[in-house]
Amino acid sequence: MRLPRPVMRAAARVRPLVPASALPVLATLRSMVGDGPLIGTPSFRRVLVLGAHPDDETAGCGGLMALLARDGAEVHVVTATAGEATIGAASSPEETARRRTDELARACTTLGARPPRVLRHPDGQLADVVDDLAADLRMIVADLAPEAILLPWFLDGHRDHQAVVNAVQRAAVPPTTELWGYETWTPLPPNRLVDISEVLDEKEAALAAHATAHETFDVSSILGLNRYRAGYGGVPRAAAEAFLAAPAAEWFALMAR
């Protein structure tokens, strides 16, 4: 249900009178009766964050990771590769993999996540090993039983990211497990927004930890997208992360369409 336009105008007029501490609650309530994304932080107690490479986790959902960890949730991170094929890296593939693995560990510590696991499938060639990756993820999901899996969304513009999604689809994820697709290379059509203003410093620090990735491009430019998501998504503060979220059965049906 969309609020009538006069009510929307009235809400905008009273906003300057609302204490800053109450703005997130006001934004959530307003989003529940509008036609845009729902604004709010989920209350998951155990989540699995999947990335193709070190830095995907921080860029795509580092703010949500920090918020969940701060609230006592278990945040487990798994990357499919060690990022050894990073274009523009100044060191050998072996040294690049070592550096990026160390940087991932530092970023996860900054965000409050558990020590990450790196599966070391071939960087840039995940499409060739989807079945092997799916077998790994099947065991990880069975062992952790996460309430939610945060992963690249299914139309993200990187072949390795799409391979991760295809592997998850083959990994026997329970149909009721929440899948929260995040954006890195390609913006998504969101149905959830998370205000990450309170942990923006942590996300910036975690992005800075991925120094090797910065040799190729400015990883921190994702913060511009986070500011856009807040400004145009109805989040009343500095930055937000956007997600396409649904139970696994619905998420994969949408992917098929």
Q: What is the pLDDT of residues 185-199, one digit of tens each?
A: 999 999 999 999 999
Alpha helix ranges (H) inside the chain: 5-14, 23-32, 56-70, 93-111, 130-144, 159-169, 200-209, 211-214, 222-233, 248-256
Least confident range of 21-35, 112-126, 152-166, 195-209: 21-35
Each residue of 207-232: pLDDT tens digit?
A: 999 999 988 889 999 999 999 999 99
Strand partners, 79: 51, 118
**Buried/exposed code over 162-175 (b: 16+ C-beta within 10 A; e: otherwise):** bbbbbbbbebebee
What mean pLDDT value characterizes the chain?
Answer: 89
Average pLDDT over residues 242-247: 98
Domains of the chain, earliest start first: 1-35 (no CATH), 42-256 (3.40.50.10320)
pLDDT on residue 16: 54
Q: Does the structure show a pLDDT above 90 at 63?
A: yes
Distance CA 168, CA 140 (A): 11
Predicted TM-score (pTM) of the model is 0.86
Strand partners, 139: none
Least confident range of 25-34, 114-123, 152-161: 25-34
Question: Is residue 86 a contact partner of residue 219, using CB atoms and an 8 Å limit?
Answer: no
Question: Is residue 185 a contact partner of residue 55, using CB atoms and an 8 Å limit?
Answer: no
Q: Does the structure show a pLDDT above 60 at 172?
A: yes
The conformation of residue 124, written as its DSSP 8-state character, comes to T
pLDDT on residue 35: 67
pLDDT on residue 29: 41
Question: Which band of pLDDT confidence, cut at 50, 70 and 90, is reported for residue 11?
Answer: very low
Distance CA 87, CA 96 (A): 10
Least confident range of 83-92, 223-232, 235-244: 83-92
pLDDT on residue 36: 78
pLDDT on residue 69: 98
Average pLDDT over residues 164-177: 98
Sign, CA dihedral 145-138-203-92, equals positive
